Amino acid sequence: MKTSKNKTVVITGSSSGFGYLTALTLARKGFNVWATMRNSETNNAPKKEELLKIAKQENLSISVADMDVNSDQSVIKAIQSIVDVEGTIDYLINNAGYMFVGITEAYSIQQAKEQFETNFFGILRTTNAVLPFMRKQREGLIVNVTSLAGRLTFPYFGIYCASKHAVEAYSQALRYELAPFGVEVSIVEPGPFGTNLLFTGPKEENQEVFNAYGDHKDVPHTMLKNFEGFYATDEAPNPQLVADKIASLVEAEKGTRTDRVVAGIDYGVIAYNNKVFPIQESLVKDALQMEHLLTIQK
């Protein structure tokens, strides 16, 4: 039987940022980590080699698998290949994502679809691929990394916020529906961190709309520069905080994991969550008479 310290963790978006740090953090705690990333043999080959080198030096259990969360075939192939080796998957950390920052109206419909393809549908793909194994063993944990932007709405982050709000709703529903199967779902909501996520998204395609905003069209760029300046100060939070929050959920006892954890500057989201929680619970317990969905089955 596996102990808690050699169970298998799959992490998406492990080539950088929170995913990279989480892979190292959990491996150093004794977990068997599969760090997944796209283009692991090309663009991200240096990151793959870096992780494997550290794993060898520190005697860590880290394997790297190629997986593009935008592709059904890639996700199914990667998850099945991991199960073929490990027998099952105990934890799934959905971290892969990127961010559109700009004039919301000036992003095309196609661009909005691309944002959702990674940030929302990517999570559905990996989750749907892993859940049959977790339901069968009646145990497992899915951690979806969203953002404060999944609870609050920032101007000029409209498309990104919409994708993260979608993940929040999906995760909450899944948490209830999987409780009878002993599978847990938790959300980690990072605040602003200097992980280069702000600069991963494309520019607005609709130049006519973009130019129609006049002086206001420069505001998103100014916001980004202000964030960049903040990240260079001593007051900027360390991204390791997010990896530690994820690790605390992974290490927690079954049935004790909270639905949401905030990491870093919260802009009032902790208070927001505390106010919404009893309303949400009352909906399920009292209005819908589904109290059994609030308890994780052992």
Q: Which two tokens stand for residue 77?
A: 């192939």
**Strands of 140-145's sheet in order across:** 62-66, 32-37, 8-11, 91-94, 140-145, 183-190, 260-263
CA 264/CA 240 separation, integer angstroms: 10
CA 169: distance to chain centroid?
14
Residue numbers annotated as active site = 160
Count of helices and strands (H, E) across the chain:
10, 7
Alpha-carbon span 175 to 142, nearest angstrom: 9
How far lies 248's CA from each of 33, 79, 143, 252, in Å? 15, 24, 11, 6
